[in-house]
Chains A and B, each alone.
Chain A
Amino acid sequence: MPLKITGAVDPELLDLPWSVPLETWPEDTLAALPRGISRHVVRFVRFRGRVLAVKETVGPMAQREFTMLKDLGRMGAPCVVPFAVVDGRRDKDGNELPAALVTEHLQFSLPYRALFSQALRDDTLDRLIDALAVLLVRLHLLGFYWGDVSLSNALFRRDAEAFSAYLVDAETGDIHASLTAGQRNYDIELACTNIIGEMFDLQAAEELDDAVEPLDLGDRIKERYCDLWSTLTGKETFHDNVRYHVAERVKALNELGFDVAELDMTQTSDGSELSIHPKVVDAGHHSRRLLRLTGLDVQENQARRLLNDLDEFRAVTFPDEEETLAAHEWLARNFEPTVRAVPKEFRRKLEPAQVYHEVLDHRWFLAEKRSNITMPEAVASYVKHVLPARPDEAAVLGHAIGTSAEGDPETSTETRSIPAWQLPPTVGRLRD
């Protein structure tokens, strides 16, 4: 079979060295990005100014995962975007090579191992697990059974105080009209087992303090998942003031970042009580509102933070103005000048919305010493004192962020340790 590319409409994809096993692709093709634990050989490659993730697997599996990621994307799931399937690969002697699934690298995303460093905040681990629990709930609401839930199979983006998790490996999954309790429980059990395994492994690598108890982290994902699931889908029964309770329920879900698209209300058999049960809930309550008001497309917690600032701005500056007009003013007077104040050389460190969030935090910190700190003052101080020490997280294209501890040829189960924070950027190649 000749080389066959499905998906991407980009002939330049043919120029990548498909006749060479991925393990031995030339370093000038590769982008040195941190990798998670994988069953397969996975590499990040530079392609026309962006970064693609390439995973070797068998043809039908690559095609299946490509289609599944496309479907998930259409359904609004937080997952990586599939780019192409490359099949029919042969080396120069005509021997068959595995097919490859190509996905777009998610900008500003990091595998969990990249977040373990000296600069690790105490609660980073908890926040990662909470993000994974939210991801799992969102996928389950869409009818996606994952089949291999783990920190390794997700990517994380900073999202204000929290993290947002994205699905990167869908090969074990299935999309159903809705999931059975058995499917959900099995995914939770797998998540629990895999997270504990990942923590044991970090401890074996001396990247995680032995004081952390992996078994507790396994319990945490279970609890977080179950709490969120029952808040989102649980049935409540009331005998009076139903209108108030419905409004409260919707408000509580909004605060968690979910919109209620459909709500079932059922009278109990004796007619004395009414049960309410959210039937369809959509994630992204705050990000949708921010997008509508400002056109900014950011993650949920960032949106929540920005909206708080916007609401405060409106209350103080334009109390009688219509919301959309106040939003326009906020964008022009607050948001844009703040993110523009970040010098070009620092713009790869964090997403603009994350910068804005951190500047707000920084202003609060400064305000402890002196009140009436303005945004321009806060951003100037932030750019001077905080931002230079932050790592580049855009795509770290061409910067050595992943290094191999042992430096031998990588195997598919091998994971690189990533002391990303401390390394000086070495342009253009992987460090061995």
Chain B
Amino acid sequence: MATVTFDKASRIYPGTERPAVDQLELDIADGEFLVLVGPSGCGKSTSLRMLAGLEDIDAGSIWVGDRDVTHVQPKDRDIAMVFQSYALYPHMTVADNMGFALKIAKVDKAEIRERVEAAAKVLDLTEYLDRKPKALSGGQRQRVAMGRAIVRQPQVFLMDEPLSNLDAKLRVQTRTQIAALQRRLGTTTVYVTHDQVEALTMGDRIAVMKDGKLQQVGTPRDMYDAPANVFVAGFIGSPAMNLGTYTVNNGVAQVGNGQVALARDAVAALKAEDKNQVVLGFRPESLDRVAPNTEGAVPINVDVVEELGSDAYVYGTVAAENPGAAAMHFEAGGSSEVIVRIDPRDVPKKGDSVWVKIREGEQHIFSSATGDRLSKAVQSSVSL
């Protein structure tokens, strides 16, 4: 087992100016499950492939434990790329399917059997070792595929969107299994996904990337409660955080027809280049429905109500006499739409107006000039 370190590692594809991965600095602890997440083209897969040895490292270095692997061949890095769905060999036993690669590595027979049995135990496959793949269920077959990587006992597992070829139901099932398995094995794992829900549910820590640059790294809770910038705020969480740019007067933001008092420490951190504007974010579950004209409340016009049984969401727009005050856009924040989680036993109708207030301490405030976070972490009660 080992730590993994990206030390200002960059990848610049020939003929391009902007690095695909730009001076990535990331320390992954021994035994940690780290998820690299971000939109398509953010550099997450390239980073993983740099670690695997599939992409050249044009600047900086990558370390596995105390070994610099920057110029080491993929096969000599002691790293295993894990695929979720290998084709299994139909005439070979489960044990042979798992262990044949060790034969190639000239591991002796007794040790192969030992390692295969140990892997089978972790994977709950012990009783199937002498059967053929045809006797296994789909899920068991996938575990045999995992077993192939496990018996190699690599220092690090790498997984690049391993669930992308599964249907939605199997995906949810398998992600739980992978996370549980990783914890049982305790092998350092780097996992790439574009799906922030996958990242939140699986990772010990998450590293969010955009345009080749690391935006933030932290626990799922850090990402949710204290996104470091507007991009992370808009990317992490589903439904997404409401984000808008508003003018501030005397510590109060004009949000549509409502006046929202902003956290003092955040207002104090505003600089001249912010031009008295902030990006204010609030999660759909951070809003309380209140009586019309309550101080600090904002009226919302209801466009659609989505009822999901345990939850209900209002998709609406900020009611505003002054159109500028309704603006809810920022690059990652989506549209002028506002999403509000409401009590499913008391849902408004389309066309109604509801007044909502951001709960105390649940504002996310960012600099309008840099997009960086100005306010303290939110103490949310949502379970991730």
Contact = CB atoms under 8 A, between A and B. Distances in A.
Contact of B166 (A37, A38, A58): A58
B281 interface: no
A183 B50 CA distance: 10
Nearest to A169: B87
A332 B13 CA distance: 53
Interface stretch (A123-131, A154-162, A196-204, A279-287): A196-204
A98 B15 CA distance: 39
Interface string B78-120: 0000010111111111001000110110000000000000000
Nearest to B141: A413
B7 to A, nearest CB: 18
A315 B100 CA distance: 55
Given A192-B104, A201-B92, A413-B141, A185 B73 contact: yes
Given A177-B14, A182-B73, A413-B141, A61 B165 contact: yes
A171 B165 contact: yes
Given A177-B15, A180-B54, A182-B56, A37 B165 contact: no
A198 B89 CA distance: 7
Nearest to A183: B54
B264 interface: no
Contacts of B55: 180, 182-183
B140 to A, nearest CB: 11
A414 B100 contact: no
Nearest to B50: A182
A183 B100 CA distance: 23
Interface in A380-411: 406, 408, 411
Given A98-B167, A183-B54, A193-B104, A39 B85 contact: yes
A37 B141 CA distance: 14
Contacts of A415: 90
Interface residues on A, range: 35 or more
B87 A204 contact: no
A180 B56 contact: yes
Contacts of A408: 134
Nearest to A171: B165
B104 A186 contact: no
Contact of A193 (B54, B93, B101, B165): B101
Given A37-B90, A185-B73, A61 B164 contact: yes
Interface string B56-94: 100000000000000001110000000101111111110
A327 B73 CA distance: 50
Contacts of A63: none
Nearest to A202: B91
A3 interface: no
A152 interface: yes
Interface string B128-160: 000001100000010000000000000000000
B255 interface: no
A112 interface: no
A170 to B, nearest CB: 13
A182 B167 contact: no
A57 interface: yes
Contacts of B101: 193, 197
A57 B166 CA distance: 8
A186 B164 contact: no
B52 interface: yes
Contacts of B13: 177
B73 A196 contact: no
A189 interface: yes
B133 to A, nearest CB: 5
A205 B91 contact: yes
Interface in A132-180: 145, 148, 152, 171-172, 177-178, 180
B316 interface: no
A200 B164 contact: no
A205 B13 CA distance: 46
A186 B87 contact: no
Interface of B: 13-15, 52-56, 73-75, 83, 85-93, 96, 100-101, 103-104, 133-134, 141, 164-167
Given A61-B165, A183-B55, 7 more contacts: A178-B14, A185-B75, A186-B54, A186-B75, A193-B104, A201-B91, A215-B104
6 contacts: A181-B56, A182-B73, A185-B53, A186-B52, A197-B100, A413-B88
